Amino acid sequence: MNRIVSLKWLLARMYESDVVIVDCRFQLGKPDFGREAYEASHIPGAVYLDLEKDLSAPIEEHGGRHPLPDIAQLTGTFSRAGIGNDTRVVAYDDQGGAMASRLWWLLKYLGHEEVYVLDEGFSAWVNAGFPVNAEQRVLIPAQFLATVQHNMLVEMDEVREKLGHEHVTLIDSRDGARYRGEVEPLDKAAGHIPGAINRLWSDGKGAGGKWKSADEQAARFEGLPKDRETIVYCGSGVTACPNVLALQEAGFSNVRLYAGSWSDWISYGDNPISIGNEEQPSKA
């Protein structure tokens, strides 16, 4: 199944009645940036969903910096945005697909199949000369009924239980310096979960900002068995989502998100931490 759609694909379908376009632009440390950018200019008909206000729960002691929303709350958010069970959803951002992939994952997690990420993002849409405006769509609520896909999610205790398990692959999606524990600009402790290997999420995009092909994604994860349970995390569970998408594009069949990710892992004082590079897996 294709999970990435082109600018021209959306241009041809943007006014179809069953399509909802969602603007997911957001910048860490600038909580109003995305909403203000949306209000200034967006793809016609798009609705706006904010990473921290709509697609995350409030921060608590555990759960990480972007905890998963309550299922009922999230279902209500989607319903109010006009997303029903038969809606085709196209998500975009201007952050390399990270925020749009978060929405993609959340909808998949609630059992919604017809959800896609727009290739390249908003700036590329503008640069292509495609239409934008500042008009805000009148939202007509839709009925969204969740069928939660529990197998897509893994919690901290399960990750801990599976440390060192030979049939589990653990992937850290952060920058290499953060993974190795050399720097940590956001969280209280540096390093990574023991046994994790490093695959930077943004390496799933080519030089021009387009998502890599399925074969190119597969090359990023070469040597990792595609049928093995693969657990993906990042700093707060957001930029892991593009890697989840990329792994599925590459043919991996059992990919799970540790949504709390590193910021949740280190909130438990007795969880082990590793520094430096882990041994790379041998090719299967």
Q: List the domain boundaries for the chain.
A: 4-127, 150-265
Strands 153-154 and 255-258: parallel
Tokens 């995009």 found at: 205
Instruction: Enumerate residues 6+ apart whose C-beta is below 8 A from 231.
Output: 154, 159, 162, 168, 169, 170, 171, 256, 257, 258
pLDDT one digit per residue (tens) for the chain, 284 residues: 679 999 999 999 999 999 999 999 999 999 999 999 999 999 999 999 999 999 999 999 999 999 999 999 999 999 999 999 999 999 999 999 999 999 999 999 999 999 999 999 999 999 999 999 999 988 999 999 999 999 999 999 999 999 999 999 999 999 999 999 999 999 999 999 999 999 999 999 998 899 999 999 999 999 999 999 999 999 999 999 999 999 999 999 999 999 999 999 999 999 999 999 986 544 43
d(CA 18, CA 271): 46
Q: Which CATH number does the domain 150-265 belong to among 3.40.250.10, 3.40.50.2300, 3.30.830.10, 3.90.850.10?
A: 3.40.250.10
Fold matches, 4-127 and 150-265? yes
Q: Which CATH number does the domain 4-127 belong to among 2.60.40.420, 3.40.50.360, 3.40.50.620, 3.40.250.10?
A: 3.40.250.10
d(CA 209, CA 207): 6
d(CA 132, CA 219): 36
Pick the catalytic residue from 234, 240, 246, 250.
234
Element (H, E) at 214: helix 214-220
234 is an active site residue: yes
d(CA 31, CA 160): 32
